[in-house]
Amino acid sequence: MSSDSPIDFSERIRSKIRSVGLSATLRMGVRKALRPLLSRWHRQQVTRHPYLVGRKELAIALGTSPEEVLSVVARMRDELTGRLPVAPGDVPAIRSLYQQRVPGLLEATIESAGHVCNHVFDLLGSGPMALGGTIDWHRDFKSGYRWNSDLCFLDIPHGQGNGVDIKVPWELSRGHHLVLLAQTALLTGETKYSGECVAQMTNWIAANPPGHGVNWACPMDVAIRAVNWLWALALVAEPSVVNDAWLAEVLAMLVAHGRYLMANLEVRDDGVTTNHYLADVVGLLYLGLCLKEVREAKRWQAFAVRELVREMDRQVLPDGVHYESSLSYHRLVTEMFLSSAVLCRHHGVDLPHAFHNRLAKMCDFVQGYTKPNGLAPQIGDGDNGRLHILTGYGRCDVRDHRHLLAVGGMFYDRADWLAAAGPSWVEGLWFGGARHSVRKGAAETVAPQPRSVAFPDGGFYILREQKDYVLFNCNPPGSSGLGTHKHNDLLSLEMQLGGEDILVDSGCFLYTSDPQAYNRFRRTTSHSTVTVDQAEQNRLIPGKLFCLHPDSRLHVLQWETGRSVEQVTAEHDGYGRLSDPVRHRRDVRYHRSNGSWQVSDHLSSPVSRSLSHRLEWTLTFAPHCSLHPAGTGWHVVTPTQRLWLEGPRLSAGGRSLAVHPQVDQEEMALQYGVKCPAPFLRWSWEGPLPVEGTFTISRLGSRST
């Protein structure tokens, strides 16, 4: 049996050169060598408290005297309400549309805001938790651990494997719920919601001095917080709600956010940028466009617009797929680009045609991967990340990405996206959609029948027929080969039949709070594909999360649609590094005549004589499925239908091979921090190659028949 070799230093260097180039690799080496010196210099700068902005510093930033600060702030208040795509004047139309076309939405919004007023939060799988009369912004309320609020952000420990999740205080301090409070205040006219919004921001400022504590440890979260604070301010900044002195304090904190972001941009040593850097850029864009009176705003805006365009070209592939190999992060990045594009248009800032063309393709991809039930597959990592949550806070399924189609449909006048957005069309109202009756009417059109579609640059192939759907995953390690959010899911399947999940991705449970669980959920054996000799398709790098060694190369051999048999065939060589190399080819066929889906695997060796190999197949079924052996296959029973899984069948050299499948109850993640049992069908075989394996899934009928 072949063994999976470890990754030595020279191999990692060669891989780095292949993925990012020689110059970037050399630059990375220089930066790493200089890192101790740069870190000492950075620490010296930070200890001088460069991000603290008091009344005097705010006056300088606004180009006025300390005595005139409040007059400038009063003028800024009047301008703020017009600097986002939605204004308080749009609220009557939004309220009317809520009541007329989405019964119960206003009541649900009020209920969610009530929970926030009572300091009850449900974040990252915590379940509803009451945080008490005064919120402790430095505490992971899931584990009870508290970070020292006096520590410099450079010294904040992130925690590795001790059950402490730094993402919990970060998520709370992103301030998504503040926008909810501001919206609810406007929709109801009740000041208790705006009062709570002001109180929480006041409390946060007092508890989180710039540059200190856990909530300054990640620039991305600082940027997202700035965006949400600006949304909240623009919606509540009425003289009857906030006074000038308080607004000055908040503006000073936002100036601190901008200065912090410019000094702590998240670029890797090798120059690779990810969703983190894009968030930094978007935060600066919002600050630059919404706080025009600040002297640094023009510099923030110019930098952000330039980098926004650059990152679209760097991070988004030509077919519109974000390059970090995760649909959850594609949602986040699309949201950031869309929000920025709407904001730029609102301020008369032109973005290149190529930018808009690729952003439209990102929305096309969202429409393409959305399943018949309106939810997205959980391909790759996922941490529920959002830039802003303008509808459905605390209620929407994190797997529902259709709000992107609502905003994109409104922005680009795409009636098909608005129709495909379903109930999420209301998100577009908060981006100026309430003023566009034609776009509102488009939301009532009938969604076009989805069709089979391929995204070859990103490696996603989606076969559809009515409410049947199969996503065939040919997505290679992304982020210039770093695999930052990639799982070992090559040639795996997501399947819905009759609009009901059958085969699903196992998802992503936790990040740094439980590295063992994180690695377990991204292993090959957690996905509906084939494992050879217990090796990974792409090796996990010891001690490194959010990274895979790029061992595999994908080749799509056939893609045929529109015929009686639709077919996609692909292969990967991730097991080519084994001492006795193996190649895996998978063929997926939809037979329109009988509605069956056939999957065939071919495992072979490029050498003339193959040694013995251990092969293991996995099929991860949705939690609501139950499997029952019967004759030559399995009955698959769901809440609404009965399916037949014929096989699995294995053969070599024309002769049948005996296999003994078994069902194990294992774990899948419904979202970050939430897992549940699900049936995994596994079978294995050991012997020389080549070997062929086949199984077929077809519908028998509804449960009532």
- Rounded Cα gap, residues 181 and 192, in angstroms: 9
Q: How far is CA 581 from CA 5, 326, 459, 549, 605, in A?
A: 12, 28, 23, 17, 6
Q: Mean pLDDT, to the nearest integer, of 695-700? A: 95
pLDDT of 437? 45
- DSSP code for 548: B
Q: Mean pLDDT, to the nearest integer, of 117-145? A: 97
CA angle 307, 277, 215 (to 5 degrees): 135
Nearest to 595 by CA among 503, 483, 498, 695: 498
Q: Mean pLDDT, to the nearest integer, of 572-592? A: 96
Q: Mean pLDDT, to the nearest integer, of 657-678? A: 96
- Rounded Cα gap, residues 345 and 342, in angstroms: 5
Q: What is the rounded average pLDDT for all residues in the chain?
A: 92
Q: Has residue 69 got a pLDDT over 50?
A: yes
Q: What is the pLDDT of residues 340-351, one digit of tens each?
A: 999 999 999 999
Q: Mean pLDDT, to the nearest integer, of 283-291? A: 98
Q: Mean pLDDT, to the nearest integer, of 263-291? A: 95
Confidence of residue 445 (pLDDT cuts 50, 70, 90): low
pLDDT of 568? 98
Q: Mean pLDDT, to the nearest integer, of 112-119? A: 98
Are the C-beta atoms of residues 335 and 224 closer than 8 Å to each other? Answer: no
pLDDT of 419? 94
Confidence of residue 583 (pLDDT cuts 50, 70, 90): very high
- Rounded Cα gap, residues 631 and 647, in angstroms: 9
pTM above 0.85, yes or no: yes
pLDDT of 37? 74
- Rounded Cα gap, residues 126 and 145, in angstroms: 14
Long-range contacts of 518-527 (CB under 8 A, 24+ apart): 518/545, 519/545, 521/487, 521/669, 522/381, 522/486, 522/487, 522/488, 523/487, 523/488, 524/488, 524/489, 525/616, 525/618, 526/487, 526/618, 526/620, 527/487, 527/488, 527/489, 527/492, 527/618, 527/620
Nearest to 401 by CA among 333, 460, 483, 351: 333
pLDDT of 384? 95
Q: Mean pLDDT, to the nearest integer, of 51-63? A: 95
Q: Mean pLDDT, to the nearest integer, of 365-383? A: 97
The token duo for 156 is 């904040």
Q: How far is CA 39 from CA 350, 397, 438, 703, in A?
A: 38, 41, 55, 64
pLDDT of 442? 47
- Rounded Cα gap, residues 628 and 466, in angstroms: 27
Nearest to 529 by CA among 472, 477, 486, 576: 472
Counts for the chain of helices (H) and strands (E), in that order: 19, 20
Neighbour count for residue 458 (Cβ, 10 Å) = 24
Q: Mean pLDDT, to the nearest integer, of 26-45? A: 71
pLDDT of 227? 98
Q: What is the pLDDT of residues 152-201, one digit of tens each?
A: 999 998 876 789 999 999 999 999 999 999 999 999 999 999 999 999 99
Share of the chain above pLDDT 70, in %: 93
- Rounded Cα gap, residues 513 and 617, in angstroms: 30
Q: Tell me the three state secondary structure of residue 705.
A: coil
Q: What is the 3-state secondary structure (H, E, C) of 623-689?
A: CCCEEEEECCEEEEECCCEEEEEEEEEEEECCEEECCCCEEEEEEEEEECCEEEEEEEEEEEEEEEC
The token duo for 692 is 């062929």
pLDDT of 1? 45
Q: Has residue 35 got a pLDDT over 80?
A: no
Share of the chain above pLDDT 90, in %: 83
Cα dihedral sign for 197, 200, 203, 207? negative
Q: Express the helix, strand and coil content of the chain in percent, nearest 5 each.
A: 40, 20, 40
The domains found in the chain, sorted by start residue, are: 55-442 (1.50.10.100), 453-702 (2.70.98.70)
Residues, the chain: 705
Confidence of residue 36 (pLDDT cuts 50, 70, 90): confident
**162 vs 205, higher pLDDT:** 205
**What DSSP assignment string belongs to 299-326?**
HHHHHHHHHHHHHHHHHB-TTS-BTTS-
Residue 657, C-beta contacts closer than 8 angstroms, at least 6 positions apart: 650, 651, 685, 687, 691
Confidence of residue 704 (pLDDT cuts 50, 70, 90): very low
* Element of type H or E holding 616: strand 612-620
Q: What is the pLDDT of residues 618-660, one digit of tens each?
A: 999 999 999 999 999 999 999 999 999 999 999 998 899 999 9
Q: Mean pLDDT, to the nearest integer, of 584-588? A: 98
β partners of residue 630: 633
Q: What is the pLDDT of residues 377-425, one digit of tens each?
A: 999 999 999 999 999 999 999 999 999 999 999 999 999 999 999 999 9
Are the C-beta atoms of residues 640 and 500 closer than 8 Å to each other? Answer: yes
- DSSP code for 483: -
Confidence of residue 97 (pLDDT cuts 50, 70, 90): very high
| 277 phi and psi angles, rounded to 5 deg | -65, -40
- Rounded Cα gap, residues 430 and 229, in angstroms: 15
- Rounded Cα gap, residues 615 and 596, in angstroms: 25
- Rounded Cα gap, residues 360 and 129, in angstroms: 39
pLDDT of 19? 65
* Element of type H or E holding 452: none
* Element of type H or E holding 188: helix 176-188
Q: Tell me the three state secondary structure of residue 466.
A: coil
Q: What is the pLDDT of residues 514-543, one digit of tens each?
A: 999 999 999 999 999 999 999 999 999 998
Q: How far is CA 694 from CA 219, 528, 587, 647, in A?
A: 49, 13, 9, 7
Could you list the beta-strand ranges (E) of 57-103.
Answer: none
pLDDT of 93? 92
- Rounded Cα gap, residues 273 and 323, in angstroms: 10
β partners of residue 465: 468
pLDDT of 292? 97
The token duo for 334 is 């699309």
Q: Mean pLDDT, to the nearest integer, of 495-500? A: 96
Are the C-beta atoms of residues 176 and 388 closer than 8 Å to each other? Answer: yes
Nearest to 682 by CA among 667, 663, 665, 668: 663
431-457: b or e for each residue (b if 16 or more CB lie within 10 Å)? bbbbeeeebbebbeeeeeebebbbbee
Q: Mean pLDDT, to the nearest integer, of 603-610? A: 82
Q: In what order do the strands lie in the sheet with 674-688?
A: 530-532, 612-620, 674-688, 662-671
Of 96-105, 461-470, 497-506, 572-581, which gets the smallest average pLDDT?
96-105
Q: Mean pLDDT, to the nearest integer, of 306-334? A: 98
Are the C-beta atoms of residues 645 and 634 closer than 8 Å to each other? Answer: yes
Q: How far is CA 622 from CA 330, 347, 395, 502, 633, in A?
A: 23, 46, 22, 5, 18
